[in-house]
């Protein structure tokens, strides 16, 4: 296949990042991005050189009135594409399934959709091989991606007997003015355990995991406290060595004065990352501890960006551009500036 032609339907928080990440690859390109309305993001998409399409023909007039050039409709765009990355809001993506199937394009949905929609949930390290040649895939949510990256290698090397995770979730994304601010700690969901554990099981079905989640008055990152019982004995240094070798884990430490998610975001800004994104799981090296024989540590997850490299790898597997997951991860990481 020449470069795979990719559509981004839903050019918001995740969609615009996936658009830039796809553009940074040499084996795939953006065929067009889809907007419902002529927002600033529509103008920026055109400025970035992307062909802009309206979600339906009825929407075209609004773009014309705003002086934004439109190349056609989603329906027309899908005829020119190999794969659509659906980044529309959770639940909306499912309404497009019939259209994607009608046009015979492969489709990736995000974590806001149910596993059953695609029948397959993806994480680059855990199941790249199973995505090869697939027509439909769901890239799991930011939290599930972060948990899978942390638990998959632990299970591989030490065997996970049981994992218990407390997720402290950001209340809303920074650009969202509809969901905040809040001055509260919100058990979410109140019924326990939360849905995050079963979502990890959509990728690692055998893994014992129980999760609880609360929403906090912050917008910048999620924060996880993990407690894991392992089959094999370990020392904290063994876990440090294990994670040091994983491609999408970055260590920070209190010794370096990174003592909060705010300082992690400052680090991302100082690294010169686009949009100050932190694509890796950020694990506090000095939190990795053994207590009563069990493993404990803290990690922070940048909800707006950690799923972005996973979308690129999912495209590569589904379009059969690279048979080796390790090589795909390395290519994606290099192009996005993700390195140790
Ligand atoms: N943000 C996160 O923290 C995060 C992390 C991981 C996964 N996810 C998942 O990623 C998906 C997208 O989330 P997001 O945070 O990127 O949402 P978002 O910022 O709200 O972006 C979604 C975009 O979709 C567009 N849209 C709305 N209705 C549409 C329709 N009917 N057809 C086409 N486009 C439509 C909207 O743009 P216009 O209406 O202006 O065109 C909007 O900007 C969800 O499944 C979510 O659960 C989100």
User: Which candidate in 87, 142, 319, 339 is catalytic?
Assistant: 142
Ligand 1 close to Cβ of residue 299 (< 6 A) = no
Q: Which residue has the tokens 């005829």?
A: 79
Ligand 1 close to Cβ of residue 305 (< 6 A) = no
Cβ neighbour number for residue 326 with a 10 Å cutoff: 12
- Residue to probe by mutation, ligand 1, list 11, 13, 195, most atoms within 8 Å of CB: 13
Per-residue confidence (pLDDT) for residue 36, from 0 to 100: 98
Domains contained in the chain, CATH given: 4-140+307-336 (3.40.50.720), 142-301 (3.30.360.10)
Which residue lies with its CA nearest to atom 47 of ligand 1?
A: 112
Q: Which residue has the tokens 């991005």?
A: 33
Ligand 1 close to Cβ of residue 254 (< 6 A) = no
Q: How far is the CA of 172 from the centre of ligand 1 (A)?
A: 13
Residue 196's H or E segment, with its range, is helix 196-201
Beta bridge partners of 167: 213, 224
Q: What is the pLDDT of residues 75-89, one digit of tens each?
A: 999 999 999 999 999
Ligand 1 close to Cβ of residue 174 (< 6 A) = no
Ligand 1 close to Cβ of residue 144 (< 6 A) = no
Alpha-carbon dihedral angle through residues 125, 126, 129, 134, given to the nearest 10 degrees: -110
CB contact at 8 A, 45 and 205: no
**Chain-wide mean pLDDT for the chain?**
97
Residues of the chain with pLDDT under 50: none
CB contact at 8 A, 65 and 39: no
Q: What are phi and psi of 9, to 5 degrees?
A: -105, 115
- 3-state percent breakdown (helix, strand, coil) of the chain, nearest 5: 40, 25, 40
Which residue lies with its CA nearest to atom 18 of ligand 1?
A: 12
For the whole prediction, is pTM greater than 0.95?
yes
In this structure, what token pair is assigned to residue 196? 């995050």
| 339 tagged catalytic | no
Per-residue confidence (pLDDT) for residue 340, from 0 to 100: 62
- Residue to probe by mutation, ligand 1, list 20, 87, 213, most atoms within 8 Å of CB: 87
Per-residue confidence (pLDDT) for residue 327, from 0 to 100: 98
Q: How far is the CA of 14 from the centre of ligand 1 (A)?
A: 7
Ligand 1 close to Cβ of residue 304 (< 6 A) = yes
Number of the ligand 1 atom closest to the C-alpha atom of 170: 3
Cβ neighbour number for residue 319 with a 10 Å cutoff: 21
Per-residue confidence (pLDDT) for residue 339, from 0 to 100: 80
């Amino acid at each position: 296949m020449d470069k795979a032609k990719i559509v981004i339907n839903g050019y918001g928080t995740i969609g615009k990042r996936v658009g830039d990440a796809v553009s940074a690859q040499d084996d795939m390109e953006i065929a067009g991005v889809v907007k419902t309305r002529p927002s600033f993001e529509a103008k920026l998409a055109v400025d970035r050189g992307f062909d802009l399409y309206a979600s339906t023909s009825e929407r075209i007039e609004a773009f014309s009135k705003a002086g934004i050039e439109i190349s056609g409709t989603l329906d027309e765009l899908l005829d020119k594409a190999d794969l659509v990355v659906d980044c529309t809001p959770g639940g909306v993506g499912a309404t497009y399934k019939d259209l994607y199937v009608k046009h015979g394009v492969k489709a990736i949905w995000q974590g806001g959709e149910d596993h059953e929609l695609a029948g397959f949930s993806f994480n680059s390290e855990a199941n790249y091989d199973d995505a090869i040649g697939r027509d439909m895939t769901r890239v799991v949510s930011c939290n599930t991606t972060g948990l899978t990256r942390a638990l998959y290698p632990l299970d591989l090397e030490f065997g996970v007997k049981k994992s218990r995770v407390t997720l402290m979730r950001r209340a809303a994304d920074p650009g969202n003015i509809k969901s905040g601010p809040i001055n509260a700690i919100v058990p979410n969901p109140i019924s326990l355990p939360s849905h995050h554990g079963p979502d990890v099981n959509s990728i690692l079905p055998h893994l014992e995991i129980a999760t609880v989640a609360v929403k906090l008055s912050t917008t910048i990152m999620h924060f996880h406290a993990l407690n894991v019982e392992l089959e094999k004995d370990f020392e904290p240094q063994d876990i440090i060595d294990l994670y040091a070798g994983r491609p999408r884990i970055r260590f920070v430490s209190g010794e370096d004065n990174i003592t909060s998610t705010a300082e992690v975001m400052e680090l991302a800004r100082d690294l010169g990352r686009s949009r100050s994104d932190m694509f890796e799981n950020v694990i506090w090296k000095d939190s990795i501890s053994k207590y009563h024989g069990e493993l404990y540590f803290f990690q922070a997850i940048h909800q707006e960006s950690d799923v972005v490299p996973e979308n690129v790898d999912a495209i590569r597997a589904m379009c059969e551009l690279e048979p080796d997951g390790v090589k795909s991860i390395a290519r994606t990481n290099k192009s996005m500036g993700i390195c140790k």
